[in-house]
Amino acid sequence: MDLKGKVALVTGGSRGIGRATCLALAEEHCSVGVNYNANEAAAEEVVEQLKKLGVDAQAFRADVSDRAQAKALIAAMMERFGRIDVLVNNAGITRDKSFLKMTPEQWSEVLLVNLNGPFNITSALLPQMVERQWGRIINITSIVAQMGNFGQANYAVAKGGLIAFTKTLAREVARRGVTVNAVAPGFIETDMTSDVPDEVLDVVCKLTPMARLGKPEEVARAVRFLAAPQASFITGQVININGGMYM
């Protein structure tokens, strides 16, 4: 799984699954650009940890939902590292409400970050990957895209769109040396799930054969696997990491 000499961009890399992914990639000697939206201190802490692992790393502020900022992020990373081999579209948000109560703003905000975000970043980067005839794109989707979930119509649609995007883009660039895959986590212990009421998490555990939540590292290891040169014949796939909750 050696990623020596490769450079990765992880969006939303300052905490949770993104942070664990940055560290997992660095363990295999991959240099990392850590994108963050607001929390500079957290991003700098990740950069420090990455440097301790012996890789080159830098934090880059950008709101992925803003096309101009996404373009500027890719340009800044290209200037700093000269290449981007691995893209992990990880940044995501939730704005949960039952559909009867969901506002147009809650609908749009989630789509803008979770679906337009990957569009903005990927479209700014893809020509460079195609030109170099090598690339790994890994989109973080969700079990919610596969099963639906009460209060998450906006999120399920965005993550379902991301699966459709993954499969379509995989077909379009398959002969250009670029693979495109998705990872679909179940319920993982991060800030995103910290607000979920305990009684809901109890139900989640009851519905999960492994009877527990996942850890960010358990998702990150699958992302790292897909990023590696060895994963060369895997494209258009959705890898489920959910303790068996959805099979």
Residues identified as active-site: 155
Nearer to ligand NAD, 135 or 216 (CB): 216
Nearer to ligand NAD, 190 or 235 (CB): 190
Helices (H) and strands (E) in the chain, counts: 10, 7
Does the protein bind ligand NAD through residue 33 (CB under 6 A)?
A: no
Work out how close the CB of 187 gets to ligand NAD at its nearest, in angstroms, rounded to a whole number.
Answer: 5
Q: Which of 7, 12, 118, 225 binds ligand NAD (CB under 6 A)?
A: 12
Contacts with ligand NAD, 140-179, as mask; x by CB under 6 A: x-x-------------------------------------
Output phi, psi for 50, to 5 deg.
Answer: -65, -40
Q: What residues have CB less than 8 Å from 13, skipping those under 6 apart?
A: 19, 21, 22, 32, 33, 34, 35, 36, 43, 46, 88, 90
Work out how close the CB of 135 gets to ligand NAD at its nearest, in angstroms, rounded to a whole number.
Answer: 20
Does the protein bind ligand NAD through residue 187 (CB under 6 A)?
A: yes
| Residue range at the interface with ligand NAD (CB under 6 A); choices 90-98, 123-131, 170-178, 227-235 | 90-98
Q: Please provide the DSSP assignment of 136-172 as one string.
A: EEEEE--HHHHH--TT-HHHHHHHHHHHHHHHHHHHH
Q: Which of 92, 118, 135, 243 binds ligand NAD (CB under 6 A)?
A: 92
Work out how close the CB of 244 gets to ligand NAD at its nearest, in angstroms, rounded to a whole number.
Answer: 15
Nearer to ligand NAD, 57 or 91 (CB): 91
Distances (CA, A) of 48 to 44, 83, 87, 91: 6, 21, 21, 20
- Do the Cβ atoms of 27 and 227 come closer than 8 Å? no
Number of chain positions touching ligand NAD (CB under 6 A)? 27
- Do the Cβ atoms of 111 and 90 come closer than 8 Å? no
- Do the Cβ atoms of 47 and 34 come closer than 8 Å? yes
| Residue range at the interface with ligand NAD (CB under 6 A); choices 32-40, 51-59, 123-131, 170-178 | 32-40
Query: What is the dihedral angle through the alpha carbons of 55, 56, 59, 65, rounded to the nearest 10 degrees?
Result: -90
Nearest to 37 by CA among 73, 86, 74, 76: 73
Nearer to ligand NAD, 148 or 229 (CB): 148
Tokens of residue 173, six digits: 């660039």
Does the protein bind ligand NAD through residue 64 (CB under 6 A)?
A: yes
Nearer to ligand NAD, 117 or 135 (CB): 117
- Other C-beta atoms closer than 10 Å to the C-beta of 129 total 22
Binding residues vs ligand NAD (CB under 6 A): 11-12, 14-18, 35-37, 63-65, 90-93, 113, 140, 142, 185, 187-188, 190-193
